């Protein structure tokens, strides 16, 4: 029976690897996900054959309750709410890993054999990482769901407090390994829970992609640590794959913001950077009709979506505008900044939901050289990722961040609710350029008026 | 000792494999990658199945049951929501 279980675990490991491999193309990705799910099911069924399992009633309850809740949320969540969905799922995975490790710790305490330092270390790590993942994800979820303010929340000397909590968690972990028992184990858990809260509270909206990717990585590492506790290779392999995945995404996101992970976690943004006096500078406000006219003369239009598109639920209106432009023979492309939105790939999912073919979505490196030839760049609810100060102004907090160079387009139209500066609290030079027109209002209503006006031309 | 080394061995190779695999995923699929890999990290469910089903104190079973519920939400929710997203990615 042991052999059967291990062979099933091997197959499950392979299925996860295949699943991630098939994510390299949108054509194979869906089948890959199904293969991964099948592998998971196989692993679960094989586990039920362990001779240690003697009662099935609680297993039945757990699967029924968890399955119903999981299916219900997955099928009812809106695509715009995907960042908070992923955040909370990360948290649940982390918590489950920590709870399994805690159960192993409780069992070890009952046993008459002394536990090895290695075993205790793996338990401690699993509890620590799992607890940080859980509390950090809950805070990220609350911010994204706007249960609490999405703005950075900082206490006096906040980042020193975080560091102290980090050190405290590690000290408690060491205490547990040295024989501190239950108190040290739950102490580690408590301090780690606080640490997760403390590092996530100062994270503001625009930094969310970094922290969500980071928590994704931690949820994998928590599973891997639990794999070390149970000496289970399936857990080690799967957890590590996810840990690596999250780490790469974290790196991509931090790079796209020109900040290090350390800088995001232990230094809040949005405090510095004197906003230039805007009052005496003129902007050009425009109407949907004028923009429609401008677009009707264009050949090459690039749409730059940002978080504002998600907030206004404007992805379907964007698609209708794309169709109206295409019907007039105008080429429409989309420029996607890596950190546009609140999680990696956020804009892509929303546009996919609205049936925009993914071949029309261009990454930053691919589209930036084309901007000087673009007739109209239409910026929808994006701000910091198109701020030319990142290129030109060494004093700007955004300086050095790679941006979409829409300022080089022949004309720029910015759809925006008001003149409030972006998340970083930095004034955007783009809005004051002579070739920039501001179309104020709710993005969805503006787009609908624009599409209507275009059709009437 | 060999057992520990072997586990570290597997861990190291998996990390390299993970980096190789993920660097091939296009940015347009980064959200499904996160939710899908998130579902995979719910693999901790097999640990919780054992704890919830073995002979043990009410505390142990309670911990196991809580872990099982959370891991099941993670697994079922993760794979389903990924499928929902991937279904939407269409060519022109």
More confident site: A321 or A268: A321
| pLDDT per position as a tens digit, A336-368 | 999 888 888 999 999 999 999 999 999 999 999
With CA atoms as reference, report the closest residue to B86 among B42, B22, B25.
B25
What pLDDT score was predicted for residue A206?
Answer: 77
What pLDDT score was predicted for residue B8?
Answer: 95
What pLDDT score was predicted for residue A220?
Answer: 97
B44, β-bridge pairs: none
Contact A343 B45 (CB under 8 A): no
A445's torsion region: left (phi>0), alpha (psi -120 to 50) or beta? alpha
Look up tokens 């499950």; give the residue. A12
What pLDDT score was predicted for residue A271?
Answer: 44
What pLDDT score was predicted for residue A419?
Answer: 75
H or E element at residue A141: helix A117-144
What pLDDT score was predicted for residue A421?
Answer: 63
Contact B43 A234 (CB under 8 A): yes
More confident site: A115 or A218: A218
Whether the per-residue pLDDT at A94 is higher than 90: the answer is: yes
Q: Which CATH number fits domain A278-455: 3.40.50.1220, 3.30.420.40, 3.40.630.10, 3.40.50.720?
A: 3.40.50.1220
Interface test with A, best of B4, B11, B37, B86 (most A CBs within 10 A): B37
What pLDDT score was predicted for residue A331?
Answer: 95
Give this complex's ipTM. Answer: 0.96
H or E element at residue A334: strand A331-336
What pLDDT score was predicted for residue A397?
Answer: 80
Interface test with B, best of A100, A108, A129, A256 (most B CBs within 10 A): A100
More confident site: A205 or A272: A205
Interface of B with A in 15-44 (CB under 8 A): 15, 17-19, 21-44
C-alpha–C-alpha distance, residues A203 and A209, integer Å: 10
The percentage of residues in chain B with a pLDDT greater than 70, rounded to a whole number, is: 98
**Span B51-78, mean pLDDT?**
95
Q: Report which DSSP code applies to A53.
A: B
| pLDDT per position as a tens digit, A251-264 | 999 988 888 888 88
Contact A249 B30 (CB under 8 A): yes
Selected catalytic residue, list A300, A355, A375, A384: A384
Spell out which residues of chain B touch residue A82, defining contact as CB-CB under 8 Å. 31, 35, 81, 85
Spell out which residues of chain A touch residue B67, defining contact as CB-CB under 8 Å. 95-97, 99-100, 103
What pLDDT score was predicted for residue A272?
Answer: 43
φ/ψ of residue A81, rounded to 5: -95, 10
What pLDDT score was predicted for residue A383?
Answer: 87
What pLDDT score was predicted for residue B92?
Answer: 56
Q: Band the pLDDT of A227: cuts 50, 70, 90.
A: very high
Whether the per-residue pLDDT at A127 is higher than 70: the answer is: yes
Interchain CB contact of B87 with A (< 8 Å) = yes
Spell out which residues of chain B touch residue A40, defining contact as CB-CB under 8 Å. 39-40, 42-43, 45, 75, 79
What pLDDT score was predicted for residue A317?
Answer: 95
Nearest to A23 among B7, B25, B41 (CB): B25
Q: What is the mean pLDDT of chain A?
A: 91
Q: Where are the domains of chain A?
A: 1-76, 81-266, 278-455
C-alpha–C-alpha distance, residues B35 and A212, integer Å: 11
Whether the per-residue pLDDT at A276 is higher than 80: the answer is: no
Question: B5 CA to chain A: closest CA distance, Å?
Answer: 11
What pLDDT score was predicted for residue B2?
Answer: 85
More confident site: A263 or A43: A43
Alpha helices (runs of H) in A145-269, residue ranges in sequence order: 158-175, 181-200, 208-230, 233-256, 261-266
Interchain CB contact of B89 with A (< 8 Å) = yes
Whether the per-residue pLDDT at A65 is higher than 80: the answer is: yes
Q: Band the pLDDT of A274: cuts 50, 70, 90.
A: very low
C-alpha–C-alpha distance, residues A26 and A37, integer Å: 17
**Span A412-428, mean pLDDT?**
77
Whether A370 is catalytic is no
Nearest to A345 among B3, B31, B78 (CB): B31
What pLDDT score was predicted for residue A277?
Answer: 45
Q: What is the pTM of this model?
A: 0.90
With CA atoms as reference, report the closest residue to A45 among A14, A5, A11.
A5
Q: Band the pLDDT of A427: cuts 50, 70, 90.
A: confident
A to B CB pairs, distance under 8 Å: 368
Spell out which residues of chain B touch residue A63, defining contact as CB-CB under 8 Å. 68, 72
Question: B3 CA to chain A: closest CA distance, Å?
Answer: 8
What pLDDT score was predicted for residue A278?
Answer: 47
**Span A183-199, mean pLDDT?**
96
Q: Band the pLDDT of A273: cuts 50, 70, 90.
A: very low
What pLDDT score was predicted for residue A371?
Answer: 96
**Span A247-253, mean pLDDT?**
92
Contact A343 B64 (CB under 8 A): no
**Span A369-382, mean pLDDT?**
95
Contact A66 B72 (CB under 8 A): yes
Question: A397 CA to chain B: closest CA distance, Å?
Answer: 26
For residue A129, CA distances in Å to A134, A228, A453 come to: 9, 13, 54
| pLDDT per position as a tens digit, A436-455 | 999 999 999 999 999 999 99
Contact B55 A21 (CB under 8 A): no
**Span B70-89, mean pLDDT?**
96
Whether the per-residue pLDDT at A328 is higher than 80: the answer is: yes
């Amino acid at each position: 029976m042991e052999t059967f279980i291990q062979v099933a675990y091997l197959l499950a490991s392979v299925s996860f690897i295949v699943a991630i491999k098939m994510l390299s193309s949108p054509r194979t990705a869906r089948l890959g996900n199904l293969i991964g799910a099948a592998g998971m099911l196989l692993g679960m069924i094989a586990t039920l054959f362990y001779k240690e399992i003697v009662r099935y009633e609680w297993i039945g309850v757990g699967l029924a309750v968890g399955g119903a809740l999981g299916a219900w949320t997955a099928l009812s969540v809106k695509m715009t709410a995907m960042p908070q969905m992923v955040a909370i799922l990360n948290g649940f995975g982390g918590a489950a890993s920590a709870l399994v490790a805690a159960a192993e710790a409780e069992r070890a305490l009952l046993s008459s054999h002394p536990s090895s330092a290695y075993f205790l270390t793996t338990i401690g790590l699993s509890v620590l990482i799992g607890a940080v993942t859980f509390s950090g994800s809950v805070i990220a979820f609350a911010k994204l769901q706007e249960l609490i303010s999405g703005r950075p929340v900082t206490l006096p000397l906040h980042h020193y407090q975080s560091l102290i909590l980090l050190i405290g968690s590690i000290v408690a972990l060491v205490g547990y390994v040295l024989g501190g028992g239950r108190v040290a184990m739950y102490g580690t858990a408590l301090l780690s829970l606080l640490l997760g809260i403390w590092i996530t509270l100062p994270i503001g909206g625009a930094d969310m992609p970094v922290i969500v990717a980071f928590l994704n990585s931690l949820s994998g590492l928590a599973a891997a640590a639990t794999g070390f506790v149970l000496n289970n290779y399936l857990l080690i392999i799967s957890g590590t794959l996810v840990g690596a995945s999250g780490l790469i995404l974290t790196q991509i996101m931090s790079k796209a913001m020109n900040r290090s992970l350390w800088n995001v976690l232990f230094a809040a943004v949005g405090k510095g950077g004197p906003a230039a006096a805007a009052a005496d500078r003129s902007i050009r406000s425009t109407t949907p009709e004028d923009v429609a006219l401008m677009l009707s003369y264009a050949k090459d239009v690039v749409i730059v979506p940002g978080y504002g598109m998600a907030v206004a639920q404007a992805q379907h209106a964007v698609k209708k505008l794309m169709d109206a432009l295409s019907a007039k023979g105008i080429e429409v492309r989309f420029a996607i900044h890596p950190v546009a939105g609140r999680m990696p790939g956020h804009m892509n999912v929303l546009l996919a939901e609205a049936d925009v073919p993914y071949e029309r979505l261009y990454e930053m490196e691919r589209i930036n050289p084309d901007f000087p030839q673009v007739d109209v760049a239409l910026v929808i609810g994006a701000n910091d990722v198109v701020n030319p100060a990142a290129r030109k102004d060494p004093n700007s907090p955004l300086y050095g961040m790679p941006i979409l160079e829409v300022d080089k387009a022949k004309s720029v139209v910015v759809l925006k609710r008001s003149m409030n500066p972006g998340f970083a609290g930095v004034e955007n030079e783009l809005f004051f350029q002579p070739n920039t027109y501001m179309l104020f209002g709710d993005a969805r209503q503006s787009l609908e008026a624009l599409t209507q006006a275009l059709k009437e031309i | 000792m060999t057992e520990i080394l072997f586990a570290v061995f597997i861990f190291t190779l998996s990390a390299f494999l993970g980096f190789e695999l993920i660097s091939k995923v296009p940015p347009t699929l980064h959200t499904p990658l996160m939710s899908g890999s998130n579902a995979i990290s719910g693999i901790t469910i097999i640990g919780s199945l054992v704890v919830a089903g073995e002979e043990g104190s009410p505390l142990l079973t309670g911990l196991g049951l809580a872990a099982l519920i959370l891991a099941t939400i993670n697994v079922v929710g993760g794979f389903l929501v990924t499928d929902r997203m991937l279904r939407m990615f269409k060519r022109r």
